[in-house]
Amino acid sequence: MVCVDGKFPLGIEKLYTALPKEGVTYVIRDVQLGVNWKAEPGEVCLYLIGLENPKSTTAPYPERGFNAERFRPLEDDRLKESEKVEAEADLEEVI
């Protein structure tokens, strides 16, 4: 996954020891329902290899993860190439 939103609210460093950086690719080590930075439950959290953070103070005290909406999957160049071939074939049919 690549981080597409590396902007965090001021003071977040009190809750986290490691934050993802925008444009950097990460490998997911776990996905769970967790709590957001306001300690509200129900957020889909990603846990990333190389970034470990303290546990939440809200039961059941999971590690603080990152909202899945801050990331997008990597694009597969093979998929892009096949889409390009299909688009060219469609264009040839029109001509």
Per-residue pLDDT of the chain (95 residues; tens, 9 = 90+): 999 999 999 998 888 999 999 999 999 999 998 777 777 778 899 999 999 999 877 777 888 889 999 999 987 655 566 665 665 655 565 55
- Using the structure block, give the residue that is written with the tokens 């490691």: 18
Query: Distance (Å, rounded) from C-alpha 50 to C-alpha 95?
Result: 51
Domain range list for the chain: 2-94
Of the candidates 73, 60, 82, 59, the one whose C-alpha atom is nearest the C-alpha of residue 28 is: 73
